[in-house]
Amino acid sequence: MLTRKELMESSNAFSLAQQQLREAAATFGIEPDMVDILAECKRAVEVSVPITMDDGSVEVFTGYRVIHNNARGPSKGGIRYHPSVTLDSTKALAMWMTWKCALMGLPFGGAKGGVTCDPHVLSLGELERLTRRYTTEIVNEIGPERDIPAPDVGTNPAVMAWIFDTYSMNQGHSVLGVVTGKPLAVGGSLGREEATGHGALFCLQEALGRLDRTVAGSRVAIQGFGNVGSVLARVLVEQGATVVAISDSTGGVYNAEGIDIGAALAQKALGGRLRDFAGGDRISNEELIAIDCDVLAPCALEHVIDETNASAVKATIVLEGANGPTTPEADAILNDRGIVVLPDVLANAGGVVVSYFEWVQGLQEYFWKEEEVHARLQAIVTRAFADTWVLHESHDVSMRYAAYALGVGRVAEASTIRGLYP
C-alpha cells in the first residue's frame, strides 16, 4: 500500500518535470511553440499484464512504456518494477532521459517503462512470467532502432535477459541491441553494472576540482544502497573519501568515523537490512538528509529532498544519483543557501552512457575491454560537466538549469532541423 506522500509524488512527477522544462526554457529563450512540443510525450502505452502466480491464482498487473522524444535518435530508458510506478511518473522519467541523453551527446531520445508491482514479494518464476508477458505486450513498441530498454529500480541483468530472449523469440533470431544491461554471456558490456556509480564519481571529482577540493578527505552520506549507491560508496572509499552514512528502504546507519562499506556490502549480499547493520548508529532515511557531511548523495527514489527538509541539508554538494530526488521548491532553497546541486541528468548519466556503448557493441558484435569502457565513460562525463559548468558560471544559473538548457537546446535544435511532418 502506497503512503499518501508516495501517491502525491508519483501523480505530480510529470507536472514537476514540465515545470523544470518551462523554467529552463524561459531562462534561455527557447521558443514557446517548441516548449509546448517538448512538454508532451510522443507516445504512452498502458498495458494489462496478467500472470499465473505460484499458487495457481491469476494476478493482473499494470505496465507502461513511454517515449518522450526521438528527434535525436531511437529512444532509450529503463524499466522499473516498483509499487509507485504510474503513468505520470513514467512520463517524467522519460522526459528526464531525453535531456540526459542530449546532454551526454548520445544519439538517443528519452523513454521509460515499468510495471506497478513489488518485485521483492514475487518469486523468481513469477518475476520471469511477469517480465515475459510485459515484454510481449510492448513488443511492437521496442526494438534496437526504435526504443531500447535497460535496467532501473527493481530490475536487473536477469530481467533484461528475459526481455532480450522474449523479443528475440518473437523475431525468430537473436537481437542483441534490443535491450542493454544484459548479462555478459548474452551480449552485455563490461562496466555496465557499475556505470552509474562510476559516472557519479567522475562528476563529483570534476565539481570538487572546480572548488579546489578533492574526493580524498570528503565526508559523504548516501541514501539508497542499490546498484548506484553501493557502487558509489565503494569507489568513493577507494578514492579516499569517508562514507559516514548509508541507508536502504528500511533505514540506515551513521558513523562519524566512517562506515565499513565492505562489511555493509557483505550484509546486503546475504539479504540483510542496513538498519540492522552493526557498523554505526541507526538512522532513518529522513534523518540521513540532514546528516553533517560534505556531500549528500540521494541515490534512491524521486522527491526525497523537498521544501520541508531542504533547509536542513548540511552538505555543500548534493550529488543526485537518483532520478528527480530534488523538487523545484527544494532546488530554490538549496540554491539560495549556496549548495551546489549536481543534477541527475548529469550526475547519474553513466548508466545510459555505457548502455549506449553496449548497444553499439551489440550492433557491431564486437566487444570492448573494461578499461576502454571506463576511459570512454570518463571522457563523455567530463566533457558534459565542463559544458555545463561553463554555462553555469557565464549565466549565473544553477547547474540544473545549465544542464537542462544544454539538453533542451540540443533536442530543440534537432527538432527544428527535422521540422514537423506533415
**pLDDT tens, residue by residue, 265-293:** 998 888 888 888 988 999 999 999 999 99
Residue 71 included in any domain: yes
Residue 91 included in any domain: yes
**Mean pLDDT value of segment 7-17:** 66
Residue 245: phi and psi, rounded to 5, are -150, 140
206 and 330 in a common domain: yes
318 and 200 in a common domain: yes
328 and 266 in a common domain: yes
Cβ neighbours for 223, distance < 8 A, ≥ 6 positions apart: 229, 246, 247, 252, 285, 288, 289, 296, 297, 298, 299, 300, 304
The SS3 of residue 115 is strand
Please tell me the predicted confidence (pLDDT) of residue 11. Answer: 46
Q: What is the pLDDT of residues 165-199, one digit of tens each?
A: 999 999 999 999 999 999 999 999 999 989 999 99
Does 4 have pLDDT greater than 80? no
Residue 131 included in any domain: yes
Among candidate residues 313, 347, 381, the one where a domain is terminated: 347
Amino acid identity, residue 168?
Answer: S
Q: Out of 91, 112, 314, 369, pick the active-site residue.
A: 112
* Structural domains of the chain, count: 2
261 and 224 in a common domain: yes
DSSP state of 29: T
Q: What is the pLDDT of residues 20-56, one digit of tens each?
A: 899 888 878 899 999 999 999 999 999 999 999 999 9
- The domain that holds 59 is classified in CATH as 3.40.50.10860
β pairing state of 58-69 and 109-116: antiparallel
Alpha carbon distances (Å) from 252 to 169, 274, 277: 43, 5, 8
46 and 162 in a common domain: yes
Among candidate residues 328, 347, 366, the one where a domain is terminated: 347
More confident residue, 420 or 134: 134
State CA 108 to chain mean position distance. 15
Whether 76 is catalytic is: no
pLDDT bin (cut points 50, 70, 90) of residue 5 is very low
336 and 222 in a common domain: yes
Short-list 183, 175, 204, CA closest to 295:
204
Does 6 have pLDDT greater than 70? no
Please tell me the predicted confidence (pLDDT) of residue 224. Answer: 93
206 and 163 in a common domain: no
- The domain that holds 312 is classified in CATH as 3.40.50.720
Residue 329 included in any domain: yes
More confident residue, 5 or 400: 400
152 and 9 in a common domain: yes
Residue 23 included in any domain: no
**Mean pLDDT value of segment 357-384:** 96
Residue 21 included in any domain: no
Does 241 have pLDDT greater than 80? yes
315 and 200 in a common domain: yes
Q: What is the pLDDT of residues 64-79, one digit of tens each?
A: 999 999 999 999 999 9
Q: What is the pLDDT of residues 105-118, one digit of tens each?
A: 999 999 999 999 99
Range of the domain at 108: 4-16+39-178
Question: Using an 8 Å Cβ cutoff, are 110 and 410 in contact?
Answer: no
Average pLDDT across the chain, whole number: 93
**Mean pLDDT value of segment 380-405:** 95
Q: What is the pLDDT of residues 305-332, one digit of tens each?
A: 999 999 999 999 999 999 889 988 999 9
Alpha carbon distances (Å) from 309 to 15, 18, 250, 291, 313: 21, 23, 19, 12, 7
Q: What is the DSSP string of 255-321?
A: -TT---HHHHHHHHHTT--GGG-SSSEEE-HHHHHT---SEEEE-SSTT-B-TTTGGG---SEEE--
Residue 399 included in any domain: no
Does 3 have pLDDT greater than 70? no
Does 370 have pLDDT greater than 60? yes
**Mean pLDDT value of segment 13-17:** 86
Please tell me the predicted confidence (pLDDT) of residue 323. Answer: 84
